[in-house]
Each structure stands twice: as C-alpha cells, then as structure tokens.
Structure 1
Amino acid sequence: MARYNYDRLSAQDNSFLLFETPNLPMHVSSTMVFDAGPLRTPEGGIDSDAIRRATQAVLHRIPRYRQKLHWIPLDRHAVWVDDPRFKLDFHLRHTALPKPGSEEQLKRLAARIMAQPLDRARPLWETWIIEGLDGGERFALVTKIHHCMIDGSSGVDLAHILLSPSAEAPEPASVPEFIPRPAPSRGQLWRDENARRIALPSQLIRQAREFAQQVPDLREELRVRGRALLNLIGTGTKADETPMNGKIGPHRQFDWIDVPLDGLKAVRRALGCTINDIVLTAVTGAVREYLLYRGVHPERIEFRASAPVSVRSDKEKGRLGNRVSSWIVPLPIREAEPRRQLEEILRQTQALKETRQALGVEMMMQVAEWTPSILLSLGARAMSGPVNTIVTNVPGPQFPLYLQGARLRAIYPQAPLLDGMGLAIGLISYDGRVHWGIVSDPDLVPDADVFVDLLQASLRRVAELAGLAVEPGETGRETPVPSVH
C-alpha cells in the first residue's frame, strides 16, 4: 500500500477555519484590472481559454491549489490532502458585466463574489474572469483564496507565478500530469496526532535548548518577550462601540482609490515618517470626520486599528501559509488637526516598536501550536474584540506585469471583515501606484462612499502638511468631498 501524504495546518492557519461563520467568510480577495490588449476577441470579449491554459500551466508550481481539507478525528484541526477529483473549471469562473461595463458595476460584482463563502469540500480558491469593463477595453480577475492558505505577503509572491514581467505571451508549455497522492484514513490521522502530542514535551525541550543557544543574552530576551506579551494582553479589553462596529451581516460593499507612490514617498521624506504612518494618519482623519458625519463625538471614543505585520523571512518567501503578526494601534481620532494626529501616530508606533507588541502576537500563535483547538477557537474570536478596524499594507512589485500579454493596471485588495468590524482597509503598491481597497458591511456603513471621499480628503490634508499634493490617478474617484461641519 502506498504511503499516505498530508500537511498539517499551523495553529495560525487553522484559526482562520475556526473563526469562520457563514457571515464571516475568511478568504482574502483582490480585483485585478487589465487592459484587454491581445486577449480581446474579434467579438469584443476576452479569450478565456488562453487564461485557462495559462492557469493550468502553473498549477503544479502551487500544489496547495489542488489540495483540500481533511479533519483530524475528535479535534478541530485540519490537514491538507491532494484532491483526486480536482476540476479546474469549478475554480476558474467566467462572467461579464452588463453594459456599459462601469467600474461601479465591477465593484458591486466583486463585493457579491467576496460575500460568498468558499466550498470547504474542494480546494479553497476561486478566480473569476470578468469581461466587458469599459465596453470591452478592459477586463478584471477577481480572486478568492482562503486565509488559511495564504497571507497578503505570500500572495504577492504568487502573483509572480501567475503573471509575467514580459509583454510577450509565453510559449505553450507542457503540463505535468497531476497524480494525487494517497490521503490518510481517519484512523491514520488519529494515530499520527496522538504520536505528535506524545512527542510535544521533548520537542518543547529541544526548541528551548536551541533558543537558548541562539540568543546572546537569554535573560534580556526573556524580559523583552515577557514585556511584549504583557503589552499585548493590556490591549485585550473590548473596543469602544461605534456605528461602524456591530453584528456583521451576509453582504459586502467594495470601493477603491489609488494614489501615486512617488507622491507618498515625497510626503514621507518631508515629514520624516513612514508610509504606514501616513496611511494610519489618513485613516484617523477619515474615521474622525465620518463619525462626526454620523453624529458621533469622537472625543469620547478610543478607536483601535489592527495593522498586520509580516514576519515572513527571506527563506520563506513564496511559501503558502500565514506568517503574520500584528500591531494594535489606537488611532488618535480625538485630535482634530492632521499634524497632531500624525505626531500621535508616530508616538504610538514608536512605542509599539519599543514594546515589540508584534512579538507578543507571534508568541501567542507559537503557544497555540500546543493548545487544543477548542481553546484556540475561543482565543481567535477574542482577538477581534480589541479592535474597531483593520488596516493592512502590502508592498508589491514596482514594474508592470502581464497576463498572456495583457497589461495589469491595478490591484485592489479586499480584506475580510472580522467579528464586530464593519470596515476593513487594504493597500497594495504596484507599478508606481498605491491601490486602496475599502470593504464594508452595508448594514453598518450604509454610506461607504462618504467614508471613501473623506479618506481622500484626509490624504490631501496630510500631504498639505508637507506642502505637497497627493491626487487620485486615472482610476481614482472624482466625487466631491461632503461637508461635515
């Protein structure tokens, strides 16, 4: 009998499965906008067969895309096994926008696609080919990948596999035959899990010895790690309630803006801060003005943002799976002036660096590897309580990418909403621009367009601190900013 094969999910990857509910699908999405270029057919459509062949040709380089979940008996922990019934047509979908094919129509369709959970009986990904944008001049790919498979940082690496820096369509390549490896039986999984747990104490001792050998000053390192964990625990109180926070429903809204990366870099140099500081300050101003717009006084609210931080090493780049920690940043929405907001953001982020709060989150996930899944599930749900929103920023490639010769113009990320969190903001830099994707629950943020306009106005105010201007590009919004005073 052939030896069975599987990969056990890490505690962090598994936590996204435990956290998921029908109204809280835990997949990450993106909307990629392309020029139709050589993929446009004489009838005005898109050559979806060419995209299908290109996808088929790279699947062997990302094996997780042909694997599905099996569950360890009597445990809420999953493993990856090859799917012997894998069919690409189930995962690669094709549809079209109705005329006129506007960006607003694309945003609504992308939001509906994102709102639907992935089928756990199959590999946890989908890609939608959407033609008809701008009357066929452009098309989009909307991707959905479960968070247990991939984080934002490794996702950017995978874009290099699916896309090419060359404008020339690659020559057709031979595709290796997919031969699924045998999956373990429930009994085999149960025996392996028992053996793993029996070995945990000796493994822990070995890891502790290796850690002690690698750290020059063990006492100081333990002191720093203890302080990081205490700092994280100190943020564990429930976040203040706002109109943007509450029970999450089944629907989603999606909007986007984009700004030139060089403009943000110029502001960064002039103000002596980081681009992340600029982003958090802009979000602070937008949240403050939006709460005023909704009739809420921000002076009475402590508003916290989760800012994921990649801890993926260079050796781990391109691997599927999550290597993410996070900061919990109080946004100074009580401050009315952008300069005071920026100063407070700088103070907060410096304090987080000194206390190494992100290390505390990573330590909790390392501890989770030794924790029963039921406790991990409760812990994962509790971690969403201390924050009001998420702001994630992923650096992408700064050169053009192509899909079978069609140029990629923009990538708009769609971060998942967490329990009680009606707004999530994702950013990715690509080819000289920073693309912002804003996801919201329409029941909690019914006027998301107002928030997006206020976000643009807040960005302009931060840039004005440096005597500069940051304006949306050709795909940006042109809606006038509403007055809230």
Structure 2
Amino acid sequence: MVTRTTAPAATQPAPAPSRPHAPQHASPPQSVAAAAAARRAAQALPPAARKAATVVQKNMRRAASGMLGISGERMSKVDTAWLRMDSDSNLMMINGVWTLSPGITWQALCERVQQRLLQYPRFHQRVVEDAAGATWVEDRHFNIAAHVLREKLPHRKGHSMQRALQDRVGELAMQPLDPRRPLWQMHLIEDFVGDDGAKGSALIVRIHHCIADGIALISVTMSLVDGGAEPPRRKPRSKGDAAATAEDWIADMLIKPFTGLTVKALDLAGDGAARSLQMLGDPEKTMQHGLAGTMDMARVAYQLVSDAAALALMPDDSPTRLKGPPGRAKRVAWCPPIPLEEVKAIGKALNCSINDVLLSCVAGAIGGYLRNQGDDPTGQEIRAMIPVNLRPMEEAWKLGNHFGLVPLVLPIGMANPVERVYEVRARMNALKGSTQPILAFAMLAVAGLMIKPAQDALLNLFGRKTTAVMTNVPGPKEQLTMCGAKVTQCMFWVPQSGDIGLGVSILSYGGGVQFGVITDTTLCPEPQQIIDAFAPEFAQLSLLTLMLPWGE
C-alpha cells in the first residue's frame, strides 16, 4: 500500500488568489404575487419534503443552466466524447512521470502550481454533466492539497525504486479522478532514487483527456518549468460572438480544421490536399480559382469519400496475444533515452524520417516480444491508431482536444530491420494527403452529441480493428529545470479506449528519445519485456545501416 501524508496546516500554502465567478443571471420574470404564493406553499410543506424539494430544484436549475449555457463554459463536443469514454478497463487519463535532481519539496511544487498552472482556467474548473453534454464550472471550494499530493513508495525486497515507481503509475492509471473536483492530480515522491543511483524526486501527473491532448499539455509543461512563460490571456467573448455559440456545432468543429490549414502540422497532408481543404471551407475563394479550384474540390471530395469508406471497412488486424478483452489492471515501463542525433543519422542514411525509424523499431520490439513468448509473428501485422495534430502549435495553450486519428498498420512480422523501416516509410507516405484524421475528428464530435451507449457503439469501430494506440510527441530540445531541480527524465502514456490494451508513447526531450509502454496485465503482464526489445532493435538497425554498401 502507498502511504500518503499531508503537510500540517501551518505548512499549507496560501489558497489560490480569488477569481471572478461566472456571472449570475436573473430568473425568468414572474409576478410578485406568484413568487409570494410559491414561498407560502413551500413553507407549508413538512421539513423533509421542503429539503427534498430544494434538492430537486437545485438539480433542475443546474441541468437547465448547463443545457442552455447560462452558467460556466460549455464543453466542446469532442472534449465531451473524451469525458464519456471512461470504462472499467480504460480510463481516459494522460499519465506522466518526471524525475528531478536534486529533489523538490511539496511546498515548492504547490507554490509553482498556484503561480502557473492555475492560470489555465481548466485546472480550477470542475465538470458538470447534463443530458445535453457537459459544462466547465468554477470550483468554488478548490483546495490545492486535494490535487498536489505527497507520497512515499513502498520498499519491496528485490525491487528497485524505479520498479516501485512503475507499479505506482500502473495503479494510478486505473484510479478514477474525483468528478466533484477539477480532473487532474499530481503525486510527488520527495525522496526518490533511480536506477542510476541519483537522488532526487519523482512526480506522477494525471490529467483527464477532456482537458487537453498531448500537444496542448506540452504548452502546460512549458509554463511550469523555471523561466516558463505564463499562458496568453484569453480574450473574453461578447454575447454577439458567433464563434461562441457555433463551437457546439459539428459544422464549426469540422470546418475549422479545413480553413485553418492545420492538417499540415505533422506533415500528414500534402500541399495539394491542404489547398483543397482550404477551398472546401471557403467557397468564395473556390469561385475565384475557377476551373482549377473546381477540380481540386472534386479531388478532395473523392478523397473524403474514399477515406470514409477505408475507415468503415478496415479489416481486422492479425490476432495476437496483445489483442483481446482487457482486464482491470495496468502496468507501465519505459527505457533510458536514445540519442536523437543517432536516430537522425540513420534516417538520413536510409532516406527515411525520424518517425519511420522509431515506428520501425517499435514494430520490431513488438514482434520480438511475441517471438520470446513462443509465438510466430511472421507475416503478421497490427494496426495502431496514431493521433495527428489539427491545430497550429501557437494555439496549443488554449487546451482542449484538436487532433484526429490515422490508422497505421505495423509490419511486426518482418524480421529484417532495414526491410521493415522501408515498409513503414511506404505506409506512412501512403497516408500523406489522407483526410482520415479529419474524419476521425468529426466522428469524435458526432460522438459527443450522442448518449453514451450510442457513443460507445460508434467508437468501438476503432477498438475492434485496433491493437494499439501510439503517440509521438516532440518535447523540449533543451533540458529543463523546475523549482531549481533538473528534469532528468520525462515520460507519458496515452490512454486506450474500448478493448484496446496496448499504448505506446515516444517522446523526444533534451537531445534524447524515450520509448514507453502501458499495457493491460491480462494481455501483457510484463511490458518491460517489450521495452527491453526496443534498444536491441535500434542497435541492430544502426549496425546494418553502417554495413550497407554506400556509393562514393
């Protein structure tokens, strides 16, 4: 069991500065006589009935204000879909770990969180659900001590603190956040010793996916570190602002990525497709382009229809021990960083991207793990859903979820590393110009409009056809410090939905690249065995690259 201690009252940091509450709106007009009659009728009720009536009235008022957007800020439909996607086997939380040297104190962390993190409204707002969706509402009883916790890792004979930290992250990945509070928590282990023997602290971070996606959380991270900038101030919306009301509609959710050209963010759309998407969102410009614009529109319309059919008719991937109904326990693992320059050198030598190299090593590590378990993965493939950013990086501070999903089939059965990296490159190139990320984004927006059973049925389309969720997030190039301590390692794990039991994360930070895995223990009891296969795969690819015959 993990011991959790709370600082004495005298050492608790001062409460966060008060913030203006959401404006209160007057009740619908009614006559004074009618109001007096209602009060007299309520007073005539027995005390128990009066109390019950008050509770019902409060709940009805809360639901009505949520549905009508009267109080708080309405949650977007995409974020609502992520909010409702929690299940007994998979919670929609992004889990992360930082190790810091030397250590930091709980008090220092609380002060930093109050100064920086709470500048983002989402981190002091709770979620109120109703029949039509959900609303962000100010938590008037916000308490920093309920969100920043201090812990001590249990000491188990034969297990390092690193293993204890991994076990604890796995436990927390299956512990729901308190829905009565803002949906995030930090767990600080003040005295931590890593496998390298360095003394310091470890910080476990849990944030519900409805608050933000991984790219947006990088912006949050940069505000927490020493020297980090505060988030830009959001301009208040006027009552006549059309965008304020249009955000809840699927048209706005779908057209914004088209007109913003943000599909180019991760180079998953070619220039021609991007121009076509812009024209699709701007018919007036299309008319100005004449026939050329019409042809581009026809091409993108054909691409949309083709990609929609491809999503709906995706074949099942190969049955492996990594696919099946998940249980209710998770475990995580991660490897030491690999120098980013080495990855770039291999990519340059093979005329491949860094992503091609890393995804090929992931496929090789999974195939190697299956071979070590006695399975033969020859000829087998698994599908991984890869998030694709759909917004400019300079807008990441706004939080929320603005990404689509694209299915990549990984050739886990290819044993030759060079052959495998070229196959991954070919498959990644085939995705360029695809509108599948936008279609997936639209599907999430539609799911947010549905009741939960209908939403689950729609989103299970991905779960049935997929073995893994895989994310590659570019982190800071320079090593960071927080509260005076150096951030020696940082890692995160993406949540899985439906019956998906494998999550793979790749994060570049401080000149290195790290590979992390989270698995359902029913499907993969020891994810460290997949991690242990990653470095040998990279080393083998590096060696074979050096041995290839190169021209003068």
Q: Normalising TM by the smaller chain, what interval?
A: 0.7 to 0.9
Deviates more, 1:151-160 or 1:197-206: 197-206
Does the aligned pair in 2 maintain the 1:281–1:462 contact within 8 Å? no
Identity of matched residues, %: 26
Does 2:75 align with 1:9?
Answer: yes
Tell me, what secondary structure is at the counterpart of 1:119? coil
CA distance in 1, matches of 2:487, 2:167: 20
Q: Which of 303, 327, 335 pairs up with 2:406?
A: 327
CA distance in 1, matches of 2:129, 2:285: 36
Does the aligned pair in 2 maintain the 1:227–1:355 contact within 8 Å? no
CA distance in 2, matches of 1:330, 1:460: 23
Cα 1:108–1:16 change in 2 (3 A) is same
Cα 1:432–1:243 change in 2 (3 A) is same
TM-score norm. by structure 2 comes to 0.72
CA distance in 1, matches of 2:376, 2:140: 57
CA distance in 2, matches of 1:146, 1:383: 20
Q: Which one-letter code corresponds to 2:95 in the other structure?
A: S
Does 2:467 align with 1:388?
Answer: yes
Please name the residue that 2:538 is paired with: 459
Structure 1: state its 5+ residue gaps.
40-46, 174-194, 469-485
TM-score norm. by structure 1 comes to 0.81
Deviates more, 1:153-162 or 1:336-345: 336-345
Please name the residue that 1:440 is paired with: 519
Cα 1:272–1:87 change in 2 (3 A) is same
Please name the residue that 2:437 is paired with: 358
Please name the residue that 2:88 is paired with: 22
Please name the residue that 1:36 is paired with: 102
Aligned CA-pair RMSD: 3.2
Q: Which of 214, 221, 235 pairs up with 2:300?
A: 221
CA distance in 2, matches of 1:299, 1:340: 14
CA distance in 1, matches of 2:433, 2:305: 13
Tell me, what secondary structure is at the counterpart of 2:375? coil
Does 2:142 align with 1:82?
Answer: no
How many residue pairs were aligned?
433
Does 2:320 align with 1:242?
Answer: yes
Does the aligned pair in 2 maintain the 1:231–1:355 contact within 8 Å? no
Tell me, what secondary structure is at the counterpart of 1:467? helix
Q: Which one-letter code corresponds to 2:333 in the other structure?
A: D
CA distance in 2, matches of 1:440, 1:300: 23
Q: Which one-letter code corresponds to 1:437 in the other structure?
A: G
Does 2:152 align with 1:130?
Answer: no
Deviates more, 1:413-422 or 1:341-350: 413-422
CA distance in 2, matches of 1:463, 1:240: 28
Does the aligned pair in 1 maintain the 2:473–2:508 contact within 8 Å? yes
CA distance in 2, matches of 1:210, 1:417: 32
Q: Which one-letter code corresponds to 1:424 in the other structure?
A: G
Please name the residue that 1:212 is paired with: 283
Tell me, what secondary structure is at the counterpart of 1:426? strand
Q: Which one-letter code corresponds to 1:308 in the other structure?
A: P
CA distance in 2, matches of 1:203, 1:354: 20
Cα 1:266–1:80 change in 2 (3 A) is same
Please name the residue that 1:116 is paired with: 175
Q: Which one-letter code corresponds to 2:328 in the other structure?
A: P
CA distance in 2, matches of 1:368, 1:211: 26
CA distance in 2, matches of 1:200, 1:433: 39
Does the aligned pair in 2 maintain the 1:252–1:440 contact within 8 Å? yes
Question: CA offset at residue 130 of structure 1?
Answer: 0.9
Question: CA offset at residue 115 of structure 1?
Answer: 2.2
Please name the residue that 1:345 is paired with: 424
Please name the residue that 1:162 is paired with: 224
CA distance in 2, matches of 1:141, 1:201: 40
Question: CA offset at residue 23 of structure 1?
Answer: 2.4
Does the aligned pair in 2 maintain the 1:97–1:131 contact within 8 Å? no
Q: Which one-letter code corresponds to 2:139 in the other structure?
A: D
Please name the residue that 2:66 is paired with: none
Tell me, what secondary structure is at the counterpart of 2:432? helix
Does 2:487 align with 1:415?
Answer: no
Question: CA offset at residue 54 of structure 1?
Answer: 1.2
Structure 2: state its 5+ residue gaps.
1-22, 26-69, 231-244, 260-278, 548-552
Question: CA offset at residue 436 of structure 1?
Answer: 1.8
Cα 1:17–1:2 change in 2 (3 A) is closer
Does 2:212 align with 1:150?
Answer: yes
Q: Which one-letter code corresponds to 2:142 in the other structure?
A: F
Q: Which one-letter code corresponds to 2:192 in the other structure?
A: L
Does the aligned pair in 2 maintain the 1:34–1:139 contact within 8 Å? yes
Question: CA offset at residue 267 of structure 1?
Answer: 1.3
Tell me, what secondary structure is at the counterpart of 1:445? coil
**Per-residue CA shift, 1:93-116, capped at 9, x if unaligned?**
101234596222221222222221
